[in-house]
Structure 1
Amino acid sequence: MVDQGSCVEIMYPDLYKGLNLKPEDLTIYDSPLLSFEGKVVILKGQIRIPVQAGSEVVEVDFIIVDIYSPYMAIVTRPWLHTLGVISSTLHQKVKYPSGDRIEELVGDQSMARRYLMSAILYQPAAESSASIEGGL
């Protein structure tokens, strides 16, 4: 996901595990971070890894969080600025200069809808049991 309004790149547990990262690969990141709901997020640490976008490779500092998300990662202003990206949320694509040409990364509308529905329908076990108990 591309978030033009944030300044911290985020990596979620599925990608962290998929890359076989371990706690010893991380450096400490101790600044507080708030979720989209305004809750304090549990941080595992920070890691700098190369991310390939088309033919460009950019080193990205990801903050590893331990919360559910339908996304694997969120890239933000530092990544966008490093590549010189122009993004369009309407068209779900980003364009950026690469050498003597313009490269383009295109999002997948149907996948974005599935992610959105997954996020809307997701209820952590603790919240869902609390809401059931509260309704009795």
Structure 2
Amino acid sequence: MSVAQSLAEDINPVPKRARVEARLVLSFTDEDKVGTIQPHDDALVVMLKVRGYGVRRVMVDQGSGVEVMYPDLYEGLNLRPEDLTAYDSPLISFDGKVVIPKGQIRLPIQAGTEVVKVNFILVDAYSPYTAIVGRPWLHALRAVSLTLHLKVKYPVGDGIEELIGSQSRSQSMARQCLVVAILHQPRAGPSAPAEMGS
């Protein structure tokens, strides 16, 4: 190689191959609605593995800043009161009442092949759901949920996995839970009749 060629390469180096990076896209299409009953306003209710046990009637709620567990599930997982750590912040229940948590516990949740650990807050309140998972779980899983499609999608390695709550059976379960929650609401006592002025 001549000195001129060497200088030319130093001034105008041969471009190196651009590094191509594949990016996963978590998206939803009309095909994702196949198997759902449309239109609907059903909650996204799924089955997850918590501490290795299959747990049904878990509501995915993007509006929740905590994961909530109810006493039936806590006892069903063979957990004891001494397994709890303190949790001091009160929560607001579906019916607008302030609920004082019993404590919190960190447990693994498995969706498909992915396992993430989150803190569950144990509340002694009625719910037709066994648990509620919210933003902390979604963020730990790097997931996107969409209630219209009744699905949760999350990246795994070079692919995307789905957690589906979109079967008509699941929608039926979500509707049953809603009805039970409404029927469980305390009824207001009879109002006193208004007195008519003379």
TM-score, normalisation: structure 1: 0.88
Aligned with 2:68: secondary structure? Answer: strand
Equivalence for 2:138? 80
Equivalence for 2:65? 7
Equivalence for 1:56? 114
**Structure holding more helix per residue:** 1
- CA offset at residue 35 of structure 1? 1.3
Residues 11-90 of structure 1 correspond to what in structure 2 (within 5 A)? 11-90=69-148
Aligned with 1:48: secondary structure? Answer: strand
Which consecutive unaligned segments of at least 5 residues does structure 1 have? none
Does 1:105 find its partner at 2:163? yes
Corresponding letter in the other structure for 1:87: S
Larger radius of gyration: 2
- CA offset at residue 34 of structure 1? 1.3
Runs ≥4 residues deviating over 6 A? none
- C-alpha distance in structure 1 between counterparts of 2:191 and 2:96, whole Å: 25
The total of aligned residue pairs comes to 130
Q: Using the aligned pairs only, state the percent identity.
A: 71
TM-score, normalisation: structure 2: 0.62
CA RMSD of aligned residues (A): 1.6
Which consecutive unaligned segments of at least 5 residues does structure 2 have? 1-58, 193-198
- C-alpha distance in structure 2 between counterparts of 1:32 and 1:122, whole Å: 22
Do the aligned residues in 2 keep the contact of 1:12 with 1:66 (CA within 8 Å)? yes
String of CA shifts for 1:68-111, please: whole Å, max 9, x gaps.
00001111111101111111101211000011111001111111
Does 1:119 find its partner at 2:181? yes
